[in-house]
Structure 1
Amino acid sequence: MLSRTASGLYWMARYLERAENIARVLDVTNRLSLMPVRGSLNNELRVPLNLTHTDELYWSVSDRLSMSQLFSFFAFDERNPGSIFNCWQSAWNNAHAVRGSLSSEVWESINSSWIELRKLRQNGVSSGGADAFFDWVKERSHLFRGAMFGTLMRGDAMSFIRLGTLLERADCTARLLDVYQYLSDEDDDTVREYYRLDTLLRSVSAREAYHTIYKQQLAADGVNEMLILREESPRSLRSCLDEIANQLNQIGSSGEDRPRYLLTVLHAELRFSSWESLMSDGLHSWLQHFLGELASIADSIHHTYLEAK
């Protein structure tokens, strides 16, 4: 496969997953913002800004921190490169460039969603309709994945799409865990912590899975362990790395295989380390280490497969 085609498929998938992740984060931020606020600052509203490192950009276009302005900024604002609108536009541009490598159903799922999203932006979505909009974004992402798994050939095209999806998903899960750890450190109120844990699980569609696995009340250690080490959870870090390793094995390499080497080291750390040894320096420290290693893997994939030789 041409590196240009592989790059288009990879980034198409990353942008689609990113759009869904932003919708999930905004959804739980909206829920968290309904909790009573202590003091003058509502730290929960800062979650999407901290995750995307867009605090400075947000304050350059907004005059106050509110859910309605956050919604506008992250949903449709073209000045925000990480908005859902811009992510979907970038995904559509990449999909259009590699249309010959996609099935007609996959292309139609992306194209029809992009047309409808432009209509939604033109007609406007009030903050009161935010819940329905978040559900729409998630449903459209599910439609894309369903069309992909149901109609696309098992080959390099599928592998590069999966790589993009899983790298973006692992990055988002790790950042969510880190931000929620920060919120817990800032506020040790047990009622608020319980509600934050519940919304964290909702943000990764793992609420039911947690109760199936642990059969107990929500606890921070259990939630963190499940979203890091449990391979049964499809958005856990372990599950993402399992599938990334599988896709890299299918792609293979004729020369130096740096991506597989880096992935194998990080994968082994999750597979063979105990929870206690991983957390010996604290959750925040380990998550920063994980995000750094994941970025190195993504850079290596780019240099190995996606750059023109």
Structure 2
Amino acid sequence: MLSRTASELFWMARYLERAESFARVLDVTYKLSMMPRHSQQQRDLALPLNLSWTHDLFQARYARFSMDNLLNFFAMDSNNPSSICSCVELAWNNAHAVRGSLSAEVWECINTTRIQLKKLRKQGVESIGADAFFDWVKDRAHLFRGAIFGTLLRNDALCFIRIGTLIERAQATTQLLLVKDQQISNDPDSVREYYRLDTLLRAVSAREAYNSLYRQPVTRETVAELLILRNDVPRSLRACIEDIVGQLELVANQHSQQPLRIAHQLNVDLRFSTLEDLVKADMQSYLTGLLTRINALADSIHHTYLETV
């Protein structure tokens, strides 16, 4: 496969996964905004800004910090490169460039999503309500993945789509864990700690999985174990890295040693780590280290497969 084609497929998948991730984060942030006001509420509502490093851009665009402005900024503002609108547009551009590598169903899914989002942008999110909008974005992402798995050949194109999705998901989960841990460390209130952990689980659709696996009150340690070390939770770090290893093995060539080495080392470290290791670790440093290694893996994949030779 040409490097350019692999790059378009990789980034198409990353942008669509990013759009869904921000819809999930906005959903839980919106629900937190409806809780009784407290001294740390502004920090809770700034979660999307912390994840995307867009504080300065937001302040330049909006005079007042409010949930309505945050929603507009991350849903429909084309000047925000992390907005759902921008991510879908970038995903569509990449998909359009490689239509021949996609099935008709996959292309129609992305194209229809873009068309419907343009209509919603004209009408405003308030026309359907914030909750319905978040559900719509997640539904479109689920439809995209269903079309991918149901209609594409099991070839290199599917591998690079999967790698893009998994890299983006691993980064998003790590960043979310990092920001939530900072919030909890800075505000020791036990009630707010519970709600922050609960919204973290809901942001990655893991609340039911937690209840099934642990059958005990939510704690920082067990949530960390669930989202870092469990390989049976789809958005956990171990599950993402383990799947990336499998996809990299399928597209391996004589130049693949570096990304395979990084991925395998990270996978082994996660596989043989335990809850006791997490309890002993400084979580901020541990998560920052994981994020650095995931970024190094993404860079290695880019240099190995996606740069035009």
Please give the TM-score of this superposition, normalised by the length of structure 1. 0.97
Report 1:49-68 matches (<5 A). 49-68=49-68
Moved more, 268-277 or 294-303: 268-277
Change (3 A) 1:111 1:60: same
Query: 1:65 Cα shift?
Result: 1.2
Contact 1:33 1:67 in 2 (8 A): yes
Match of 1:37 in 2: 37
Q: Which residue of 2 aligns with 1:262?
A: 262
Q: Are 1:68 and 1:127, in contact at CA under 8 Å, matched by a contact in 2? A: no
Aligned AA for 2:241? L
**Quick check: 43-52 or 184-193, which moved more?**
184-193
Shift of 1:24: 0.4
| Contact persistence 1:71–1:127 (CA under 8 A) | no
1:145 maps to 2:141:
no
Shift of 1:189: 1.5
The residue number in structure 1 matching 2:213 is 213
Segments of 4+ in structure 1 off by > 3 A? 278-281
Q: Aligned equivalents of 2:40 and 2:138: distance in 1?
A: 33
Unaligned runs of 5+ in 1: none
Q: CA deviation at 1:37?
A: 2.6
Distance in 2, matches of 1:186 and 1:34, equals: 21
Q: What is the match of residue 243 of structure 2?
A: 243
Please tell me whether residue 101 in structure 1 is matched to residue 101 in structure 2: yes
Q: Deviations over 1:64-123 (max 9, x none)?
A: 111100000000111101110000000000000000000111111101111000010011
Distance 2:220 2:125 in 1: 35
- The aligned residue for residue 169 of structure 2 is 169
Contact 2:40–2:187 at 8 Å: present in 1 too? Answer: no
Q: Does 1:20 align with 2:46?
A: no
**SS of equivalent to 1:82:** coil
CA distance, structure 2, for counterparts of residue 255 and residue 49 of structure 1: 38
Deviations 1:6-25 (A, max 9, x none): 00000000000000000000
1:136 aligns with: 136
Q: Deviations over 1:13-60 (max 9, x none)?
A: 000000000000000101112222323762111100001000111000
Residue 224 of structure 2 contacts residue 278 of structure 2 at CA under 8 Å; is this kept in 1?
Answer: no
Post-superposition CA distance 1:224-281 (Å, at most 9, x none): 1100001110000000001000000011112352100111111111011223334534
Q: Give the corresponding residue for 1:76.
A: 76
1:18 partner amino acid: R
C-alpha deviation, 1:62, in angstroms: 0.8
Mark the runs of 5 or more structure 2 residues left unpaired by the alignment.
Answer: none
C-alpha RMSD of matched pairs (Å) = 1.3
Identity %: 56
Partners of 1:197 and 1:220 within 8 A in 2: yes
Three-state SS of the structure 2 residue aligned to 1:42 is: helix
* Aligned CA distance change for structure 1 residues 197 and 256 (closer, same or farther; 3 Å): closer
**Contact 1:7–1:306 (CA under 8 A) maintained in structure 2:** yes
CA contact (8 A) 2:221 2:278 kept: no
| Contact 1:159 1:251 (8 Å CA) reproduced | yes
* TM-aligned CA distance change 1:37 to 1:305, over 3 Å: same
Answering whether residue 125 of structure 2 is matched by residue 125 of structure 1, we say yes
CA shift, 1:128, in A, is 7.6
Counterpart residue type for residue 237 of structure 2: L
Cα deviation, residue 196, structure 1: 1.4
Inter-partner Cα distance in structure 1 for 2:2 and 2:274: 41
My pick for the range that moved more, 35-44 or 290-299, is 35-44
Write the deviation string for residues 159-216 of structure 1: whole angstroms up to 9, x where unpaired: 0000000000000000111111111112222111111111111100000000110011
Q: Is the 8 A contact 2:13 2:162 kept in 1?
A: yes
- Whether contact under 8 Å (2:229, 2:273) holds in the other structure is no
